[in-house]
Amino acid sequence: MTEKLTITALKSRAIVAPLARPVRTAVGTLANAPLVLIDVETDQGVTGCAYIFGYTPTTLKAIAAFLSDLEESLVGQVVAPAEQARFYENRFRLLGRQGLVGMTLSCLDMALWDALGKSAGHPVVRLLGGLPRPMPAYDSYGVVDPIEDRGDLERSLERGFRAIKIKVGDGDLMRDIEMVSGVRDIIGPDVELMIDFNQSRTVPDAVRRIDALSNFDLTWVEEPVPAEDFVGHAEVRAASTPPIQTGENWWFPQDMAKAIDAGACDCAMPDLMKIGGITAWIRAAGIAETKSIPVSSHLFVEASAHVLPVTPTAHYLEFLDIAGSILQEPMLVEDGKVTARGPGLGMVWNEDAVARYTL
C-alpha cells in the first residue's frame, strides 16, 4: 500500500562519475559527470533514488547542502510528488526556482516517483498510465572527428541506432561543414542526423551556418543561439529550412509555454532536471500536445524512458548515459531503442562504484 508511504530521511552523496566518452561542445568539454545522488528513505523500507547532474563539480557541495536543509521539510510527509511540488512552489515563489533550486526540486520529484513505484512494485510508467515500451533513441555525441571517431560512429549503427546527434559550432563554418559532411558520409542517407550548436552563435551567424548545412538533411538544429533568447530562436527559425530544436534549458513548463508562444522552435526537448521532474514533465507534454510539437528527452535516460511513452507527441530519447558507471545495471539499447525498467525508475546504485567515485 502506498498511501502510508512516509518520508523518514533524505540522504545525498556527491560523486564524480566517469563518462564513456567525454562530451566536447562549442562552449566547453564535459570530461566526466559530477552528480549528487538522492536517497529518499521511507517508513516502508523503500528508498526513492534519483541523481542531480551538476554539470561542474563546483555545484555539488551547494546542492548537497541544500538537500540537507530540505530534509526537515520532507520528513513526516506522505510521498505524493504533486503535493510536494505545490508545497515547494509556494515555498520558493519569492526566491524563484531557476538554477540549483530548480534542479534539486526536479530531481527530488524523480526520487519521490521512484519511491512510489517501488512501493507499488511497478515501473513509474505504469503509475503514469502507460506501459514500458521501446522508445526510439539517438546516440548523442559531442564534437566529433570523422576520421578518428569513425569506428565509434559505425558501432552506434551496429547497436541499431537510426539517429545520431553531433555538436558543432566550436570552430568556423568550414569546420562545421567538414564535420557534418564527414559524419553524413559514414552514417549514410537513411540514418537521421541532428546537430547542436549549444547556444554558441549569434542570430546572423546561425542563419548563415544553417543555410550552408541545410543540404545534409538535418532532422533538427539545436540551440543555435543562447537558450533564453526565444525571439532570437524564432528569427533563426524563420530564416532556416531545417527544424529548430530547443528546450533543455527551459525552467519549468512556464518557460516552455513562453518559448512556444514566441515561436522559438519546431521541436521541444525538455530536460527532466530543469522542467520540474516527472510531475511537471506531464504538464509540459500537455503543452506540446496542444501545439502539435514533437517532444524529445535530454539526458536522464532512465527516467526519460518512463515519461516518453505517455507523451502524446514523443519523438526521440537522447541516449547520453551519464550515470551508467554507478548503476548495477546501466540502461540498454536494443535495436536503437530504450525501454523503461522497474520497479520505480529501475535504478539500483552500484555501491562499490559509488564509493570509488565519491568526493
- Active-site residue, selected from the candidate residues 298, 306, 315, 337: 298
Considering the complex, what minimum distance in angstroms separates the CB of residue 136 from Mg ion?
18
* C-beta atoms surrounding 1 within 10 Å: 7
Catalytically annotated residue among 165, 167, 315, 337: 167
Interface segment toward Mg ion; rule CB under 5 A; list 89-97, 151-159, 221-229, 335-343: 221-229
Q: Is 6 helix (H, G, I), strand (E, B) or coil?
A: strand
Supply the minimum distance, in Å, between the C-beta of residue 123 and Mg ion.
27
Span from 37-45, 85-93, 215-223, 226-234 in contact with Mg ion (CB under 5 A):
215-223
Cell of 222: 539545436
Q: Are 170 and 145 in contact (CB under 8 A)?
A: no
Q: How far is the CB of 141 from Mg ion (least distance, A)?
A: 11
CB 193 within 8 Å of CB 164: yes
Q: Which is nearer to Mg ion, 251 or 349 (CB)?
A: 251
Nearer to Mg ion, 196 or 229 (CB): 196
Identify which of residues 222 and 229 has a Cβ nearer to Mg ion in the complex.
222
Name the residue with the smallest CB distance to Mg ion: 196
Q: Is 196 in the site for Mg ion (CB under 5 A)?
A: yes
Q: Which residues contact 26 (CB under 8 A, 6 or more apart)?
A: 143, 167, 168, 169, 170, 197, 198, 199, 200
- Mention every residue, 6+ apart, whose C-beta is less than 8 A from residue 297: 269, 270, 271, 272, 304, 307, 308, 316, 317, 318
Q: For residues 234-273, which are near Mg ion according to CB under 5 A?
A: none
Phi first, then psi: what are they for 35, rounded to 5°?
A: -130, 150
Question: In the range 222-241, which residues lie near Mg ion by CB under 5 A?
Answer: 222
Q: Specify the residue, 37 or 221, whose C-beta has the smaller distance to Mg ion.
A: 221
Instruction: Select the span of 42-50, 106-114, 177-185, 214-222 touching Mg ion (CB under 5 A).
Output: 214-222
Stretch that binds Mg ion, among 136-144, 219-227, 238-246, 348-356 (CB under 5 A): 219-227
Rounded CA separation 281/103 (Å): 13
C-beta atoms surrounding 274 within 10 Å? 24
Chain-centre distance for alpha carbon 126? 21
Give whichever of 85 and 213 is closer to Mg ion, judged by the CB atom.
Answer: 213
In the complex, least distance from residue 42 CB atom to Mg ion, rounded to whole angstroms: 35
Cα distance between residue 195 and residue 353, in whole Å: 33
Nearer to Mg ion, 74 or 163 (CB): 163
Q: Which three cell numbers stand for residue 123?
A: 515501473
Helix and strand numbers, DSSP H then E, in the chain: 13, 11
Output the CA angle 140-146-147, nearest 5 degrees.
135
11 tagged catalytic: no
Does the annotation mark 315 as catalytic? Answer: no
- Alpha-carbon distance of 111 to 48, in angstroms, equals 5
Output the smallest distance, CB 167 to Mg ion, in A: 8
Q: Which is nearer to Mg ion, 222 or 302 (CB)?
A: 222
Q: Which one of the spans 30-38, 191-199, 275-283, 338-346 is the region binding Mg ion (CB under 5 A)?
A: 191-199
How far apart, in Å, are the Cα atoms of 3 and each of 46, 79, 92?
Answer: 13, 8, 27
Nearest-approach distance from CB 46 to Mg ion, in angstroms = 34
| Number of amino acids touching Mg ion (CB under 5 A) | 2
Q: How far is the CB of 83 from Mg ion (least distance, A)?
A: 32
* Footprint on this chain of Mg ion (rule: CB under 5 A): 196, 222
Q: Which positions are annotated as active-site residues?
A: 167, 298
